[in-house]
């Protein structure tokens, strides 16, 4: 019997740098034998040299709800690609480095499923297998198994028992595996993943089974950290935070797992090590925490308060405690000093000057090679003088948003699209339209719930250029499609702490500078303005932005777009884009982040001048 010894992870506020070596002595990830990165078409980043099976993304992956004890399951797993209808593969084909997608060079496989004749993404499943041993010190606790994200449909088995099925490639999910564990012995974890891509009609963003142009290599399977953690019988399931700067308070609600009879929830707000306030309430009841003279969060001053939440009981059993953080900030739409309808931050107009950010990597695809690489992208955006990332048709791991919160970057968060554009004839999907629409709504709800507490996210963008909308009337949008758009926008609008952009722009050509797909919903009107300075004038109730512009040299054209902030009064504009992506070469950085494509100091100086005009 092999016992996996567990080392208590360290917690550091300056980055939640809680780490744990992936794999450990009880798992398949304990050796680098059989793995090396594949040198693909687009090369590797400089961070690839730091990636090994023993240190694949060792940071605690959920920075807004951390616990001290955890076990990282990243590392080498067995993998196989097999026919979709098989109950399990006949044999595994090799090792794959989790959490890097199958198709990525850093996985050690670096190959699309459909490169093999007669194999398609629709008719194959990707299988994973590894083993682990539960630390002896965890006995007596409930054990949770967490997946940061798996693309797209994941069926999870532990010791031959099916734990459940999760559908959706951008949100995390968990299982209480306590009753399926073998204590003191190795446990076998098996994950089967189906990623139908183009024919599925489900949210997939820019992934496609035929990469080229503005459509990119897919990221199938596990692409975020997998981990285990022990919790008491009554534990914290999630924490929901609503800052209110006008009332100088934070409203906190907390969901518990287990029998909560006789327990109380305590919340403590800290400024560094100094206790600001604390309060206690019954489970299910909101806690209002006063934050006097609050330090407000903004890109120029991204102050974060610490937060501790614990379960207290008169019983002798151990209570659960998690650590988090929050920013006191307010996002709204209102009038500026000149009476123009603007997006406001903390009750004043702050210009949103940003870049389109697709979050792809030549070596990890959806998965950044290291946490330092994640941070670098945000630092580069800030270095160039921008204060906004439009996270385009992809949702990032929690640590990317942590760095945005910590370093001070506004984020417009897109919902990943479920197709490649409006179709006058229905594409060949595997499921009926109503099922795909319901799934889109379910994934949208989960994405918003997962990322709700991040102060950096200031807007939800529900649709982009009509991608994924089948409509026989083309851009006229029939009533069924309009009803679907309204339902999805209603889901996003339940979040009252952010502004809602229901539909960002229209495709290239005659629709530039206005938005034929805007049906009058959401607080923001959004035009894409490639090759034109035409844009939409704000109304009494709705602000206006340019959600995309570019396909030129930034220093050559930016001045004429900057003037649109004053007249007609746009609130933000997004340059396409921060990096090259595969065959799309229009970034301010190369795809490998090796160099800037324009003079970085001149871009920064231009943006600083721009910002000074709109303080």
The CATH number covering residue 272 comes to: 2.60.40.10
239 and 227 in a common domain: no
pLDDT tens per residue, range 202-232: 999 999 999 999 999 999 999 999 999 999 9
DSSP-derived letter for residue 19 is B
Res 49: pLDDT: 97
**What residues contact residue 143 under an 8 Å CB cut-off, 6+ apart?**
134, 176, 177, 178, 181, 228, 229, 230, 231
Res 476: pLDDT: 82
Based on the number of CB atoms within 10 Å of its own CB, is 420 exposed (0-12), middle (13-18) or buried (19 or more)?
middle
* Euclidean distance between CA atoms 66 and 260, whole angstroms: 21
Among 203, 231, 259, the domain-final residue is 231
Among 231, 264, 286, the domain-final residue is 231
Q: What percent of the chain has pLDDT over 90?
A: 86
Res 539: pLDDT: 98
386 and 273 in a common domain: no
Q: What are the C-alpha distances in Å from 89 to residues 79, 99, 234, 372, 426?
A: 9, 21, 38, 36, 34
Which of 117, 112, 118, 129 is CA-nearest to residue 197?
Answer: 112
Res 316: pLDDT: 52
456 and 307 in a common domain: no
pTM of the model: 0.94
User: Looking at the domain assignment, is residue 335 inside a domain?
Assistant: no
Among 231, 248, 266, the domain-final residue is 231
Instruction: Give me the domain span that covers residue 240.
Output: 235-319
1-7 long-range Cβ contacts below 8 angstroms, 24+ apart:
1/184, 1/185, 2/26, 2/133, 2/186, 3/133, 3/135, 3/136, 3/184, 4/71, 4/132, 4/133, 4/134, 4/135, 5/135, 6/69, 6/71, 6/135, 6/137, 6/138
Report angle CA 92, 94, 95 to the nearest 5 degrees. 120
99 and 51 in a common domain: yes
pLDDT tens per residue, range 59-88: 999 999 999 999 999 999 999 999 999 999
210 and 103 in a common domain: yes
386, 74 Cβ separation under 8 angstroms: no
User: Looking at the domain assignment, is residue 6 inside a domain?
Assistant: no
Tell which phi-psi region holds residue 118, choosing left (phi > 0), alpha (psi between -120 and 50) or beta: left
Average pLDDT, the chain: 92
358 and 414 in a common domain: yes
443, 488 Cβ separation under 8 angstroms: no
Res 318: pLDDT: 60
* Euclidean distance between CA atoms 418 and 408, whole angstroms: 30
203 and 250 in a common domain: no
Q: In what order do the strands lie in the sheet with 341-345?
A: 331-335, 341-345, 348-349
pLDDT tens per residue, range 155-184: 999 999 999 999 999 999 999 999 999 988
Indicate the number of domains in the chain: 3
* Euclidean distance between CA atoms 460 and 492, whole angstroms: 7
What mean pLDDT do residues 405-423 have?
A: 93
Report angle CA 304, 305, 306 to the nearest 5 degrees. 120
* Euclidean distance between CA atoms 555 and 610, whole angstroms: 12
Beta bridge partners of 297: 302
Res 12: pLDDT: 29
Helix H or strand E segment including 325: strand 321-326
What mean pLDDT do residues 189-195 have?
A: 98
Band of residue 6 on the pLDDT scale cut at 50, 70, 90: very low
Res 28: pLDDT: 31
478 and 428 in a common domain: yes
* Euclidean distance between CA atoms 419 and 202, whole angstroms: 7
User: Looking at the domain assignment, is residue 4 inside a domain?
Assistant: no
Q: Please say if the pLDDT value at position 542 is more than 90.
A: yes
Res 471: pLDDT: 75
Q: What are the C-alpha distances in Å from 16 to residues 11, 62, 198, 442, 448?
A: 6, 9, 37, 30, 22
Res 473: pLDDT: 73
Question: What CATH number should be reported for the domain holding residue 393?
Answer: 3.20.20.80
User: Looking at the domain assignment, is residue 333 inside a domain?
Assistant: no
Q: Please say if the pLDDT value at position 199 is more than 70.
A: yes
pLDDT tens per residue, range 52-66: 999 999 999 999 999
* Euclidean distance between CA atoms 53 and 130, whole angstroms: 13
Q: Comparing 427 with 117, which gets the higher pLDDT?
A: 117
- Preceding omega of 251 cis (within 30 degrees of 0): no
Question: What CATH number should be reported for the domain holding residue 216?
Answer: 2.60.120.260
User: Looking at the domain assignment, is residue 331 inside a domain?
Assistant: no
Res 615: pLDDT: 62
Which of 61, 109, 34, 17 is CA-nearest to residue 364?
Answer: 109
108, 38 Cβ separation under 8 angstroms: yes
* Euclidean distance between CA atoms 77 and 271, whole angstroms: 42
- Preceding omega of 568 cis (within 30 degrees of 0): yes
Q: Residue 67: phi, psi to the nearest 5?
A: -125, 155
532 and 411 in a common domain: yes
pLDDT tens per residue, range 327-383: 999 999 999 999 999 999 999 999 999 999 999 999 999 999 999 999 999 999 999
Q: In what order do the strands lie in the sheet with 287-290?
A: 235-244, 249-257, 287-290
201 and 62 in a common domain: yes
User: Looking at the domain assignment, is residue 239 inside a domain?
Assistant: yes
54, 23 Cβ separation under 8 angstroms: yes
* Euclidean distance between CA atoms 197 and 153, whole angstroms: 11
Other C-beta atoms closer than 10 Å to the C-beta of 559 total 11
Distance linking the first and last C-alpha atoms of the chain: 65
**What residues contact residue 41 under an 8 Å CB cut-off, 6+ apart?**
none
270 and 244 in a common domain: yes
492 and 387 in a common domain: yes
Other C-beta atoms closer than 10 Å to the C-beta of 563 total 12
- At how many degrees (to 10) do helices 554-562 and 600-613 cross? 0
* Euclidean distance between CA atoms 498 and 172, whole angstroms: 22
* Euclidean distance between CA atoms 106 and 203, whole angstroms: 24
User: Looking at the domain assignment, is residue 122 inside a domain?
Assistant: yes
SS3 assignment for 287-307: EEEECCCCCEECCCCECCEEE
Q: Please say if the pLDDT value at position 491 is more than 50.
A: yes
Res 421: pLDDT: 79
* Euclidean distance between CA atoms 306 and 288, whole angstroms: 16
Q: Rounded to the nearest 10 degrees, how much is the dihedral formed by the CA atoms of 39, 227, 61, 81? A: 30
Res 317: pLDDT: 59
User: Looking at the domain assignment, is residue 339 inside a domain?
Assistant: no
């Amino acid at each position: 019997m092999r016992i996996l010894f567990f080392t208590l992870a360290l917690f550091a506020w300056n980055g939640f740098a809680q780490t744990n070596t992936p794999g450990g002595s009880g798992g398949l990830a304990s050796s680098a034998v059989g793995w090396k990165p594949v040198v693909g078409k687009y090369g590797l980043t400089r961070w690839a040299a730091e990636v090994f099976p023993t240190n694949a993304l060792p940071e605690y992956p959920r920075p807004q709800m951390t616990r001290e004890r955890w076990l990282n399951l990243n590392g080498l797993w067995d993998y196989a690609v097999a026919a979709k209808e098989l109950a399990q593969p006949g044999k595994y084909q090799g090792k794959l480095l989790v959490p890097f997608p199958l198709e990525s060079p850093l996985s050690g496989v670096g190959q699309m499923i459909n490169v093999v004749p007669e194999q398609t993404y629709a008719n194959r499943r990707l299988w994973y297998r590894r083993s682990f041993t539960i630390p002896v010190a965890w006995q007596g606790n409930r054990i949770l198994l967490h997946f940061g994200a798996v693309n797209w449909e994941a069926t999870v088995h532990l010791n031959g028992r099916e734990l459940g099925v999760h559908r959706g490639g951008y949100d995390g999910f968990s299982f209480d595996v306590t009753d399926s564990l073998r204590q003191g012995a190795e446990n076998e974890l098996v994950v089967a993943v189906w990623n139908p891509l183009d024919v599925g009609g489900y949210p997939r963003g820019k992934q496609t089974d035929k990469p080229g142009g503005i459509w990119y290599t897919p990221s199938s399977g596990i692409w975020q950290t997998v981990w285990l953690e022990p919790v008491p019988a009554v534990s914290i399931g999630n924490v929901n935070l609503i800052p209110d700067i006008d009332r100088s308070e934070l409203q906190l609600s907390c969901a518990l797992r287990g029998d909560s009879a006789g327990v109380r929830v305590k919340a403590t707000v800290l400024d560094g090590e100094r206790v600001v306030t604390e309060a206690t309430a019954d489970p299910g009841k909101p806690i209002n925490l006063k934050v006097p003279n609050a330090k407000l969060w903004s890109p120029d001053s991204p102050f974060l308060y610490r937060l501790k939440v614990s379960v207290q009981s008169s019983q002798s059993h151990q209570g659960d405690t998690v650590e988090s953080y929050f920013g006191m900030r307010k996002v709204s739409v209102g009038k500026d000093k000149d009476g123009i309808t603007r997006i406001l931050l903390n009750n004043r107009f702050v210009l949103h000057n940003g870049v389109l950010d697709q979050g792809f990597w030549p070596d990890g695809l959806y998965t950044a090679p290291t946490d330092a690489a994640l941070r670098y992208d945000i630092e580069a955006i800030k270095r160039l003088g921008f204060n906004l990332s439009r996270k385009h048709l992809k949702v990032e791991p929690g640590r990317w948003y942590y760095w945005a919160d910590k370093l001070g970057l506004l984020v417009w968060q897109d919902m990943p699209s479920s197709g490649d554009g409006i179709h006058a004839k229905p594409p060949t999907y595997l499921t009926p339209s109503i099922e795909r629409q319901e799934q889109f709504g379910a994934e949208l709800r989960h994405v918003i719930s997962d990322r709700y507490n991040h102060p950096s996210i200031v807007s939800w963008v529900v649709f982009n250029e009509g991608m994924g909308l089948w409509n026989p009337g083309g851009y006229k949008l029939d009533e069924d499609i309009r009803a679907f758009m309204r339902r999805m926008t209603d889901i996003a609008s339940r979040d009252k702490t952010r502004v809602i952009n229901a539909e960002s722009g229209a495709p290239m050509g005659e629709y530039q500078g206005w938005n034929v797909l805007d049906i009058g919903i959401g607080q923001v009107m959004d035009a894409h303005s490639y090759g034109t300075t035409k844009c939409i004038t704000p109304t009494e109730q709705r602000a206006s932005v340019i959600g995309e512009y570019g396909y030129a040299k930034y220093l050559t054209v930016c001045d004429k777009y900057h003037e649109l902030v004053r007249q007609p009064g746009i609130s933000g504009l997004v340059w396409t884009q921060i990096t090259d992506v595969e065959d799309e070469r229009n970034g301010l950085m190369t795809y490998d982040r090796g160099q800037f494509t324009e003079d970085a100091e001149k871009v920064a100086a231009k943006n600083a001048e721009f910002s000074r005009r709109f303080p």
